[in-house]
Structures are given as C-alpha cells and as structure tokens.
Amino acid sequence: MVKIKVCGITNLEDALAAIEFGADYLGFNFYPPSARCVTPEQAHEMIARLPAGIDKFALFVNEPRERVRDILAAGGAAGFSGVQLHGEETPEYCRGWDVKVIKAFRVKDRESLRSMADYPADYYLVDSWAPGYGGSGAPFPWSWLDGVKAEKLILAGGLTVGNVAEAIRLVRPYGVDVCTGVEARPGVKDHAKLKAFISAVQSA
C-alpha cells in the first residue's frame, strides 16, 4: 500500500481528520516565509493530542542543525519521528540524525535528480520546483523519474484527487505527499478533498 503524507498541518482539527481518513504521516512546516509555518509550541501542543502510531515530520529549509535539534528535543519521546530537509542541505548535513530523514529535491528538470544518490536519507521526496521553496501546486513531468529507484521515493508536487491514481500507476512510489491539493486556503485543509484524496490513493 502506498504511504500517504499530509503536509502543512497547522491545526489539530486537520491533523485528526487526516489520521481518521487514513494518512500515515503528518508534516509540520517550520519555514517562516510559508503560510503554513507553525511555531514549535503550536506543533508540540498538537502532537501531544494525537493518537500514537502516526509518524510526524518537521520540515526545515536551510536551518542550522542546532535549531533543528532544539525543536526536535522540545517534544520529548512523543515528539517528531523525523525531519524533512527541503533546502540546499548537503549530504553531510543529512547524516547523524537519530530520527528518520526525508531529503526533498525540487525538480526543475531531469538534472535536478542527478545528485539524489549522493544523499544519505531514509526517503527522497520529489517536489515541483517553485520560487522561494513554496509548493507550486502544479506537477512536474513524471516521466523525468524514469530510471529513479522508487522504493524510497515520496512523490509530491501538484497531486490532487484527479491525478494521484495516475501518478501512482506511472511512478510506483513508496509514498505520496499532498498539501496544496487538499486545501480550502493556504494552511487550512478542505476535509472533503482530503478524504477523497486519501481514498483515491488507497484504491489506486
């Protein structure tokens, strides 16, 4: 079964709905320019009220390791299961974490994927390129992933209930990641879209 990650969680209601509908992973954004950015206090307050068994990832863009470690440590044992590194972090930066690591690659062309094998990570997330590290809301050509090993691949970038089944059929990824495609407005999920998206993944 393809894993489902719902990113850009900003409130408890959206987090609980995603879990109820069948999400496997939740993403919390700590990139200040993003409309979906939350504070460490907000994130840990939400996480403390979530049921056990759901993996939570903290998303960072080019942050000092010390700040990342501080945010992870603040949640204690019930905190984050992993980090999502969404900037120009180096392969060396990706080493040495005691949580799971998702390294994101912003795909502008086929060349954007060339360095993926150099990075030590548990998963590789491929997202559409957009200025300023934000989601573009549009997919990139999935044919660019031909030849890329899909076992650890999380597909993102413009996925919606209308195209996610086709994306899974073509790419066969380990998981899919959705944010913009299930929003009512930036930072707030549309629960009907969220439920329909997760159902489409589960039946793909």
- Provide the phi-psi class of 53: left if phi over 0, else alpha when psi is between -120 and 50, else beta: left
Residue 37 catalytic?
no
Encoded tokens for 166: 């086709």
Task: Pick the catalytic residue from 14, 24, 94, 127.
Answer: 127
d(CA 41, CA 38): 8
Residue 55 catalytic?
no
Task: Pick the catalytic residue from 7, 14, 177, 179.
Answer: 7
- Count Cα atoms within 13 angstroms, Cβ side, for 34: 25
Structural contact between residues 119 and 149, judged by C-beta atoms closer than 8 angstroms: no
- The torsion defined by the Cα of 190, 193, 195 and 198, in degrees rounded to 10, comes to -120
Residues involved in catalysis: 7, 127
